[in-house]
Structure 1
Amino acid sequence: MTSPAGSRLRRFGLRRRRDETGPERVEADREPAEPAEPGVVPIARARPRQRVTVEGEVRIIALRPHADVPTLDLELWDGADALHLVWLGRRSIPGISAGAHLRATGRVTVQRGTRTIFNPAYEVIGTSRGPHG
């Protein structure tokens, strides 16, 4: 969910980084990180209507009530790009919190310009404190 102000700020940061580190570093920042597990796709390569398995760290969690139905929405970041995972009818999921590392599988859609997977199958890989803890 990028606002016009957010994209201007991102472009400013890229220009600033380019000045400090050279164009090679900026290009390297745009390259998606290659996942360690076979079958896992970098988020940047996840296309609409494609069934994918992605892996990353939970950065943001939000509970969004929508017409009397709770909706758990989180942003998954793989180090290069992000997408949203949305569970309809859920207020929380044990083991999922900010900093948790997840592997999720589902079909990619685009909602309000953001890649989203609704009700994905998921596996909690670990947390930022270490595996399982």
Structure 2
Amino acid sequence: MGTKSRLRRTISRWASSEEAEARDLRKTYTGAGVVTVAEAPDREKVRLRGTLRTVTLRPRGGVPALEAELYDGTGTVTVIWLGRRRIAGIGPGRGIEVSGRIGMHDGVRVLYNPRYELL
């Protein structure tokens, strides 16, 4: 019985720390002209700010593509730079602002070749 209660406490702490991180990210990245990932409309020009969770090189159709997951505390969007193997300053944990049009690819929200600014 003691093991189950310790496990519950550990999971509870982990969940509350993740919620706190999301809350902090929402506070940090909100600003004028910037929408949250959750509220960003598809196929319209948007500006998003967040932290890159992952950055991977994943070729698409024989073309190199740098792919990153942008998280702002409300949701995630996959950012893809086609024809790029790497971009200086782009890495996991980095704060970034991107602008472009969000689309859907295989059920995932994506932003191709966005303009970006490192934060």
Deviations 1:70-109 (A, max 9, x none): 0111000001210011000000000010000000000010
Q: Who wins on radius of gyration, i.e. which is larger?
A: 2
RMSD between superposed Cα atoms in Å: 2.4
* SS across alignment from 1:91: coil
Length-normalised TM-score, structure 1: 0.68
* SS across alignment from 1:45: coil
Query: Residues of 2 paired with 1:122 and 1:96: CA distance?
Result: 10
Corresponding position: 1:47 with 2:41: yes
* SS across alignment from 1:43: coil
* Residue pairs, 1:1-133, within 5 angstroms: 33=26, 35-125=29-119
What runs of 5+ residues in structure 2 fail to find an aligned partner? 1-10
Q: Identity, % of aligned pairs?
A: 36
Q: Which has the higher contact order (CA 8 A, sep 6+)?
A: 2
Residue number in structure 2 paired with 1:13: none
What runs of 5+ residues in structure 1 fail to find an aligned partner? 1-15, 126-133
Q: How many positions carry a matched residue from both structures?
A: 101
